[in-house]
Structure 1
Amino acid sequence: MNDLRSTERFSDRVEDYVRYRPDYPPALIEWLRDLGVGEDWVVADIGSGTGISSRMFLDVGHDVIGVEPNAAMREASDHWLGGDRRFRTIDGTAEATGLSEDSVDLVAAGQAFHWFDEEATRREFARILRPGGLVAVFWNSRRLVGTPFLEGYERLLHEYGNDYVGVAERYATDDDMARYFGDGYRGMASFPHTQKLDFDALKGRLLSSSYAPKPGHINYEPMLYELRALYDACASDGRVDFDYDTRIFAGSVHPATS
């Protein structure tokens, strides 16, 4: 990853991350199957965090190795998924996974790719992948417009978020990802995905974000006050729709593609 700060910035948000971060839609796995990803493929989940994407691959039969440098997140995933004999974690980064050469079939990076050094990861992923293996990069991209709730939530982040603009602008574009894969690019897809959140879950979802101010910060109480007002104005049947587009890009990689 790019620096120590990026590997540690979620350490004090693990509980909220486990409980309130979204999973991924089943269509993502179906799309990978269409690309030839077999049920017997071994998956390296890079930046595996608390295990959200690892769980998705375990649920459809894969052996999964979670590579995660953040000790608190790694411990959370071990607690959640460690009872499954097909799952294990190692302390490693995207640029230095600690995995053996030609040891995995699919490298998966969910929600973490924007923290990685792209050239170093291209070399590392090419090293650990078996011949014919693929890299899949995916994330949930929160919709910013389309409903009063989504637009109000975006305004709230701009007003109260600590470094929201800098983090929000880090997600790669379609062209960025095509350049990353180069001649090995196999394509992309986008799928709608939604969380239906009551207020406690909405609050937890916000506080799981690295840019949300923490208790004691001057913006913390005003942010929660505005969040409550937004929820009260927009909730239907005790829930708000937190809408995403789940974006996935896949291909083979080589140490030098650009």
Structure 2
Amino acid sequence: MTPLHEAAKALGGSPQLFARKVLDYQASRPDYPVALFQRLLRERPAPADVADLGAGTGLFTKGLLDAGYRCTAVEPDPGMRAAADSRLGHRAGYGSLDGLAERLPLAAASMDLITAAQAFHWFDVPRARAECQRVLRPGGSVLLVWNEREPAAAVHRALDRVFATFGGALRSAQLEHDERSALPAFFGSMPSPWATPHVQHLSAEGLLALVFSRSYMPVRDSEAGREVEREVARLHQAHAEPDGHVRLPYRTEAFFGRLL
């Protein structure tokens, strides 16, 4: 068990960390650029059967459906999964299941593609790799995606100070957890990265929701949460554009390949 998983377990486990953050997650997490799905379509044309692991509220799942894929959202937290179902349950080709990357509720050789956006750091890599190999059809592949905050941006430096003040042991463990170093063990070799700029604009309430959506941040209805609200209000005032929104630059990174 990695230090990240130990820190998460001490707080009730990774699914429980998000149980009280569903609304903030829905309101604030950035989506994914169209260019990423255009690139994916060249690598794995639609229609195809996709399992989106750690799907959360369905942000990445929606992009897959929009691109023409049939998609099963696999998510262990019932609140997150219910939010995805509410958003996407009417869409053709959508389904959801309770499950983890290490225990996939899917039949052998049933998927053409497995995706995980902002979720790979929670994987037990050897067990998740074995499960993905079981579930993928011959010639199937995996796509791992991250929306990385641009560290040089002043607004992100200010957010980092808030996260450092209130994030505690779990944030420290996340910072020390080098998930990219596990990519060769997961894929069997190091896949080539693909990246593109991305941007998000958030109102004051959206920025606050983004901060509280982090797994390591305190809940709103706590003394620490109220202090976070005051800090984020000051941050918004300092960085907001004339329209009242804060511009948050990202770099979307993706790794695509077969499990060798």
Q: Distance in 2 between the 1:139 and 1:130 partners?
A: 25
Q: Which of 134, 147, 150 matches 1:127?
A: 134
For structure 2, list consecutive stretches of 5 or more residues without a partner in the other structure: none
Q: Distance in 2 between the 1:228 and 1:9 partners?
A: 24
1:43 and 2:50 correspond: yes
- Could you say which residue in structure 2 is the equivalent of 1:68? 75
Q: Distance in 2 between the 1:216 and 1:236 partners?
A: 29
CA apart distance, 1:167: 2.4
Alignment of 1:183-222 (within 5 A): 183=189, 185-222=190-227
1:177 and 2:183 correspond: yes
CA apart distance, 1:186: 4.1
Q: Which of 100, 105, 109 matches 1:98?
A: 105
- Look up the equivalent residue of 1:212 and give its one-letter code: M
How many residue pairs align between the two structures?
250
Q: RMSD in angstroms over aligned alpha carbons? A: 1.8
Cα 1:214–1:186 change in 2 (3 A) is closer
User: Secondary structure, in 3 states, of the residue corresponding to 1:94?
Assistant: coil
User: Secondary structure, in 3 states, of the residue corresponding to 1:12?
Assistant: coil
- Could you say which residue in structure 2 is the equivalent of 1:168? 175
1:247 and 2:253 correspond: yes
Q: Which of 30, 34, 47 matches 1:26?
A: 34
Q: Distance in 1 between the 2:220 and 2:80 partners?
A: 21
1:117 and 2:124 correspond: yes
Q: Which of 149, 156, 159 matches 1:153?
A: 159
CA apart distance, 1:168: 3.4
Q: Which of 109, 123, 142 matches 2:149?
A: 142
Q: Distance in 2 between the 1:251 and 1:219 partners?
A: 42
Q: Distance in 1 between the 2:81 and 2:105 partners?
A: 15
- Could you say which residue in structure 1 is the equivalent of 2:90? 83
Alignment of 1:49-64 (within 5 A): 49-64=56-71
User: Secondary structure, in 3 states, of the residue corresponding to 1:224?
Assistant: helix
Q: Deviations over 1:93-149 (max 9, x none)?
A: 1011110111010000111110010000111001110111100111111223232x2
CA apart distance, 1:216: 4.2
User: Secondary structure, in 3 states, of the residue corresponding to 2:92?
Assistant: coil
Q: Distance in 2 between the 1:104 and 1:11 partners?
A: 28
- Look up the equivalent residue of 1:17 and give its one-letter code: Y
1:225 and 2:233 correspond: no
CA apart distance, 1:171: 5.0
- Look up the equivalent residue of 2:32 and give its one-letter code: Y
Q: Distance in 1 between the 2:136 and 2:185 partners?
A: 19
Q: Distance in 1 between the 2:152 and 2:65 partners?
A: 33
CA apart distance, 1:69: 1.1
Q: Distance in 1 between the 2:144 and 2:21 partners?
A: 23
